[in-house]
Chain A
Amino acid sequence: MTTLIIIDQAPYGSWEGREALDMAFSLAAFDQPVSLLFCGPGVNWLRKGQDAAGVQQKSVEKNLAAAPIFGVEALLADRAACEQYGLDQNSLLDQVTLADPGPELTARFDHVAFAG
């Protein structure tokens, strides 16, 4: 049972993305295959060099860097959204793979869940 969790909201504006990340880590902890797809403003999760101290939050960058260690299979980024937000491969975290969201992508997974 492979799962894709989609985060389509910017980091720090709400807790929904973080709670979706917890869902992914939880599946991985139970050895269930899981990947994450960031699309729309959600691609900003994948930006290198984040500093969230100004909003009294922890940077999500470290959490994401740990994703492969926890067993999350892939961090996928919506290619078009990355262009829209001025993100290229150099400004994205190293483990990120660019992808084109759509039926072909989601069909590769048995279960697809969105962040709240």
Chain B
Amino acid sequence: MKNRSPEQKETPAPAGVFALVITGAPYSSQAPGTALNFARAALAANKRIERVFLYGDGVHLASGLSAPPADELNLSKAWSDFLMENRIPAVACIASALRRGLINESEMKRYELPSSNLRTPYEIAGLGEWVDSVSSQTRVLYFHRGG
């Protein structure tokens, strides 16, 4: 946590720049769906999404192994496509991810696990990414399991 300083911005982020934190899991909460609707609406209104941060149960959204029935919305894929189309950086918190079995290649090797499952374009990183958004006065919105 201490090995990386958050980028210190000299001026506050301009109005209309958002960072989204998703803590509710797909399929057991509405949070990822609501967040995606918000993100699409924000871009349509010429706002900017600075980054998406998955925390707690929200990390399940980045699983490359989720396979809902074909006639249901694939939330993980929909989010992943949206992030790539709009080149929005997305991070899953490493502590939340490792606890819940969301693993990238390097963590797979480090812990000698049988597989990795992190979807493109997510990265696994520490809370410093979130601190960066909070400390830069970007508007940070939270999508919890209740909403």
Contact = CB atoms under 8 A, between A and B. Distances in A.
Given A27-B131, A116-B23, A116-B24, A16 B56 contact: yes
A26 B134 CA distance: 11
Interface stretch (A55-63, A91-99, A107-115): A107-115
Interface string A15-29: 110010011011101
B50 interface: no
Contacts of B6: 30
Contacts of B99: 15
B144 A29 contact: no
A15 B142 CA distance: 17
B127 A26 contact: yes
Task: Classify chain B's interface size.
Answer: 20 to 34
A22 B23 CA distance: 14
Nearest to B24: A116
Contact of B96 (A19, A27, A114): A19
A2 to B, nearest CB: 10
B24 to A, nearest CB: 7
A26 B137 contact: no
A23 B131 CA distance: 8
A23 B67 CA distance: 31
Interface in A75-116: 110-111, 113-114, 116
Given A26-B130, A32-B135, A116 B56 contact: yes
Given A22-B95, A114-B144, A1 B1 contact: no
Interface of B: 1-2, 5-6, 21, 23-24, 55-58, 95-96, 99, 126-128, 130-131, 134-135, 137, 140, 142, 144-145
20 contacts: A1-B137, A3-B134, A16-B56, A19-B23, A19-B56, A19-B95, A22-B127, A23-B55, A23-B127, A26-B126, A26-B130, A26-B131, A27-B134, A27-B135, A29-B1, A29-B2, A30-B128, A111-B140, A116-B56, A116-B144
